[in-house]
Amino acid sequence: MEDEPVSGELVPERDAARRIGDLKPIPEQVRPECRALAENLRELFGTVGVSLRVLAVRLHYDAGTVSRYLNGTVVPPAEFVDQLFTHAAKAAGRPPATEVVAHVHTLQRRALQATNKLGWELQRLRDRLADADRQRQQAEVRAEALSEALLVRKQRIAEMEVEQRRIAVAAADRETRGAELDRLRQEREEVTAERDRLREEVARLQDALTQARRQALEAERRCEALEHQLQAEEEAAGAKAQSEEPASHRLSHAQEQVVVAEERARRLERELAALRSRAAAPDDRSPVEPGRVPDVWGGVPRRNPRFTGRDELLAEVRERLEAAPADTAVVALVGLPGIGKTQLAAEYAHRFAARYDVVWWAGVDGLPALKERLAALARALGGGDGRDAADLVRAALEALRRGDPYGRWLIVLDDADDPEAIADVLPAGGGHVLITSRNRAWADHYAELLDVPPLNRQDSVAFVRRRAPRIGPEDADRLAAAVEDLPLALDQTAGWLDGASTPVAEYVRMASDGEPNPVRPAADYPMPYHSAFKDLITRLRESTKAAAELLRLCALFGPGPVPLALLRAVPAGQVSPAVAALLENPSQMELAIGKLAQWSVMGRSALEAEAVWMSRFVRDAVRRRTPEDKREKDARIVRGALVAADPRCPDDPAAWPRYARLVPYLEPSGALESSDAASRRLVVGFLTYLTLSGDYATGGRLADRAAGDYQELMARRAALLRETGDYAAAEALDRAVLKNLGGIDAPGRLVAMARLGSDLRGLARYDEAHELARQQRALCTDSCPQDGAAVRNAQRSLSHSLRMLGSYAEAAELSGRTLDSARAELGPSALVTLACETEHAYDLRLSGRYPEALALQAPSVERHHAVLGAEHPSTLAAEYHLWLCDEGRDTDVHALWRRAARLLGEDAPLPLMIATGAARGLRRGGDLDGAESLAAETADRYRIALGDQHPYAIGTRANHALTLHTTYDVVRRLDAALADMTAAVGERHPWTLGIALNTAATYHGRGRLSDAYLMSKETARRAAESLGEWHPLTLRAQFGLAADLREGPGGQDEAAAIEAAALDGPAAVWGPDHPVILAARNRNPFDWDFEPLPV
């Protein structure tokens, strides 16, 4: 079937034989479909009325490519056809006819189908995607219009109803005349009819809106499906073409496609840069033509397709250049090697190219290189080749100064590290100069410095994943941290990892430890990133020896912040005379630091005052130049400085910030491996600080790396193990320490006994811990005065053991005396005093003295915050116990548990302890599902950490049973927990009695009244014998017994007598507002929760 003739505006005339402009005739071997397309394109080209080369420049295509399109040897993309129509319409002064555009596009698709089946299929998919997108947009527009119409109708209905009520009120007026009443009735009927009509229309519009939204959603889904299909087809097409087409044809086709893709990419980038520049342009500047390219463009590196982030920094470069005074618009990008200065400048040149008439790039390796580039610029601006180089340089600078022939210019001086040498030939005038340099001395030459920071972590991760898709987000984050977010290092390390089988974790370890790690340099920077730092250090040594020596000293302590106080603590005899002189003379030291900062290898720390900061890469570059035989000497220097700066008071929170600043230097000092007494004292002091400050992770890592088995180190290791819940390992170490101490009079024996007792309590060997505590107190009584640290430690050990055994009243009496002693001797803010407050508050509450416990714990929490901070483990423990003292207070125990878990890990003793309270809060708040999940998880963690028959594992299993929905499961689990707890701690322990109380209540709920009565009676008797008749647990058992009797025949009187006896005495002592008294009077059901205690 033949096509119908097409006519209209801008209709190409079919005249293939004649020559159009500088086009040659269409070759004979061109296929008919391609010939038809080429003939139509040639007519459009003739309408434009310019030469082929000018058209190619306007369309941002290569002239040869345009020639092949118009000769029919290559089928152009649809975008080229659209551009050609646009330029033909401009030349003709009228738009093209719609049918003409459709006709030419049909020819393009036929040509594509005839020559490239794969390309044709892809084009069809693109067309379908475009159609689906148009349908989606139309559906969205229709839905929006319907939504607006629906809103108008609803508003009108509301107005009608108001009018209807007004008419009804008027008609009800008794004085209304008959005619007026008839008129109002008629008006009301009309309003009602109009309202009903609008309601019907609203219903119809609502249905139409629902359908429009459904159509929009379906169109969106079609678009997504077509996008996925198109992507898959494009990938398959590439693979198929590669495998099926002849090699020569594939090469030719690939070259054509590369040319087309590059030209299209350049055009889009320029248009995007122009649009961004125009949007950011000040009002007083003339708008820049979208897609316009500078008339003079030279030396600018290709745009980096992996360039990531930096939008704010690029905007700041633009703002500073625009805001600079006339003739002085010079911005210097300064920073470490590899920080991305050159890439940033190149991106700026590309992104804002449309704002300039001239963009010229000069790599500045000294003055001759700059002059050579300026001479080339003079020739590009129209200067003659006959002049000598000096004349050309002067001509270029003068042309830039005068703005003739171009006033809007950008000159980029890359790697301009010697401002003194090239400042005299720095361009001036109305344009902009952008410098990249490692030398901050550009500030002395009227340049505005702009520090280039590392990438932010989000951009670093995105960059790594773009460079190496096989690396996941977490590994990308670790790699970014290891190389300090340095762009060049990210590019080279990720590039190597993308093609390697080395695990990312192992590679990150190598990079973090400063070991030589393989990299893959890119073509534009062929050297490994380590080499850039090595060259910088070499240059620094050649220019300023004293500063280089100071840098070497700082590298012993780096990377990161290096406190100046630590440098000044270095013994003068261990460093060179030049460095010793710097350390003794603050003004000379400031000059040396300033020289190092000038070259970006060191700067003032932003993390703390009176400190300098050094990059890991600078540190590694310096250390690699240090011979092996000098490294032990360097380590002795660091150890000497640490010993001199040691605060020597790890139990004083006021000194903890000083310890925190020194901890990073403990490993590089070699103190962990050293056997001299000073180093060992240093290590023990730092481990004590880390334990008391709550940094168990760092403390454990350093303790594992420390060499030797001396007693102080073993004790510190045991303390860290105990705080993280590894009681068995801690006991083995503490028992070895105690054994090695020898006789009962050996120094340190009392402290060692207290530590071992804590381990035994953690292992639930409560009787053994109690006996050891009694021996400790007896030994203390024989060898120590009545007051003092030894006595307090003995009393605390004994009260801890009594608490674990359930002797709460005896423990409270002993912990109260201990607290009084600590307050008197140490003051209210001492660590020991704060610990004693929480311990005594526990004993008061467990004894049933709730108001006293609350009165003690509440102000203690405030003191914990003031002394230790909100995120210290002791503060979190105090906050948790305050919640236990008063569960009605406004405390989010679940959030408290999360804070503890983030700080210490979910398996640490403190987070597990708080997790039991969080599950309890969820259950009592009615969230049984949440409570069940958390209670089950907590019980499982205790089982894994301590064993299935540890009381904490048994107790949390009993807590979990209370959250179950099936009564049968509750009874079965509580029966098992009761048997296990009886075996673990005995039948009279409060934990056993509490589970028995819950079991009896569950029997009662299932109707097993006889079993409930017997268990309640026995529980009440044992509780009274163990805890006293007025203890809350005893009273709960009594009230449970009364409830059991009340349900049985003839038990009403006995139940009333039991309740009265249980209420009268305690109420007179505790007051009517005691929680247990209130619950009993209201006959609220009692349940008891197991709570793990601190060891």
**pLDDT, tens digit, for every residue of 1021-1041?**
999 999 988 888 998 888 888
| Token pair listed for 339 | 């920080």
- Residues 511, 603 share a domain: no
- Residues 333, 407 share a domain: yes
Confidence of residue 1077 (pLDDT cuts 50, 70, 90): low
Flag the least confident range among 22-36, 334-348, 1072-1086.
1072-1086
- Residue 677 placed within a domain: no
- The CA distance from 747 to 692, in Å, is 22
- Residues 1059, 932 share a domain: yes
pLDDT of residue 493: 85
Of 451, 481, 503, the position where a domain reaches its end is 451
Confidence of residue 558 (pLDDT cuts 50, 70, 90): low
Percent of the chain with pLDDT over 90: 34
Reference 157, options 188, 131, 194; nearest CA is 194
Flag the least confident range among 399-413, 577-591, 716-730, 820-834.
577-591
- Residue 969 placed within a domain: yes
Q: What is the CATH number of the domain that holds 969?
A: 1.25.40.10
- Residue 828 placed within a domain: no
- The CA distance from 867 to 442, in Å, is 48
pLDDT of residue 186: 73
Cβ within 8 Å of residue 696, ≥6 positions away: 690, 720, 723, 724, 904, 908
Cβ within 8 Å of residue 497, ≥6 positions away: 468, 470, 471, 479, 504, 507
What 8-state DSSP symbol labels residue 522? B
**What residue spans of 303-362 are helical by DSSP H?**
311-323, 341-351
pLDDT of residue 10: 46
- Residues 431, 537 share a domain: no
pLDDT of residue 307: 87
Rounded to a whole number of angstroms, the CA Rg of the chain reads 42
| Token pair listed for 787 | 């007051």
- Residues 1065, 931 share a domain: yes
- Residue 9 placed within a domain: no
pLDDT of residue 786: 65
Cβ within 8 Å of residue 772, ≥6 positions away: 753, 756, 757, 760, 797
What 8-state DSSP symbol labels residue 13? P
The H or E element containing residue 549 is helix 545-557
Of 422, 451, 480, the position where a domain reaches its end is 451
Q: What is the mean pLDDT of the chain?
A: 81
Confidence of residue 1000 (pLDDT cuts 50, 70, 90): very high
pLDDT of residue 144: 56
ω into residue 454 within 30 of 0, thus cis?
Answer: no
Q: Is the pLDDT of residue 96 over 80?
A: yes
What 8-state DSSP symbol labels residue 440? G
Q: Is the pLDDT of residue 664 over 70?
A: yes
Q: What is the CATH number of the domain that holds 438?
A: 3.40.50.300
Domain that holds residue 71: 32-115
Cβ within 8 Å of residue 118, ≥6 positions away: 237, 240, 241
The residue-averaged pLDDT of 269-279 equals 46
- The CA distance from 806 to 847, in Å, is 9
The residue-averaged pLDDT of 913-929 equals 91
- Residue 899 placed within a domain: no
- Residue 657 placed within a domain: no
- Residues 463, 431 share a domain: no
- Residues 220, 95 share a domain: no
| Token pair listed for 484 | 């300090």
Q: Is the pLDDT of residue 290 over 60?
A: no
The residue-averaged pLDDT of 161-189 equals 64
- Residues 1008, 1057 share a domain: yes
Which tens digit of pLDDT belongs to each residue from 926-982? 888 999 999 999 999 999 999 999 999 999 999 999 998 776 788 999 999 999 999
- Residues 109, 60 share a domain: yes
- Residues 1062, 923 share a domain: yes
Q: Is the pLDDT of residue 622 over 70?
A: yes
pLDDT of residue 1005: 86
If one counts the domains in the chain, the total is 6
Of 526, 549, 575, the position where a domain reaches its end is 526
Q: Three-state DSSP class for 97? A: coil
Confidence of residue 52 (pLDDT cuts 50, 70, 90): confident
- Residues 1073, 1012 share a domain: yes
The residue-averaged pLDDT of 737-745 equals 85
How far is CA 595 from each of CA 534, 592, 1093, rounded to the nearest angstrom? 17, 5, 58
Highest mean pLDDT among 3-17, 516-530, 634-648, 940-954: 940-954
Contact 43, 1 (CB under 8 A): no
- Residue 921 placed within a domain: yes
Q: Is the dihedral of CA 403, 408, 412, 417 positive or negative?
A: positive
Residue 533 CB-half CA count within 13 A:
23
Highest mean pLDDT among 333-337, 607-611, 838-842, 1049-1053: 838-842
Which residues, listed in sequence order, are joined to residue 560 by a DSSP beta bridge? Answer: 614
CB atoms within 10 A of CB 200: 11
- Residues 1051, 924 share a domain: yes
Which tens digit of pLDDT belongs to each residue from 852-866? 999 999 999 999 999
Contact 979, 1015 (CB under 8 A): no
Cβ within 8 Å of residue 1044, ≥6 positions away: 1000, 1004, 1009, 1012, 1013, 1016, 1051
Q: What is the CATH number of the domain that holds 54?
A: 1.10.260
Residue type, 997: L
- Residue 439 placed within a domain: yes
Which tens digit of pLDDT belongs to each residue from 447-474? 899 999 999 889 999 888 888 888 888 8
- The CA distance from 648 to 682, in Å, is 8
pLDDT of residue 597: 82
- The CA distance from 33 to 106, in Å, is 10
pLDDT of residue 19: 40
Reference 853, options 841, 837, 839, 862; nearest CA is 841
Which residues, listed in sequence order, are joined to residue 435 by a DSSP beta bridge? Answer: 332, 413
The residue-averaged pLDDT of 885-908 equals 88
Kindly report the length of the chain. Answer: 1095
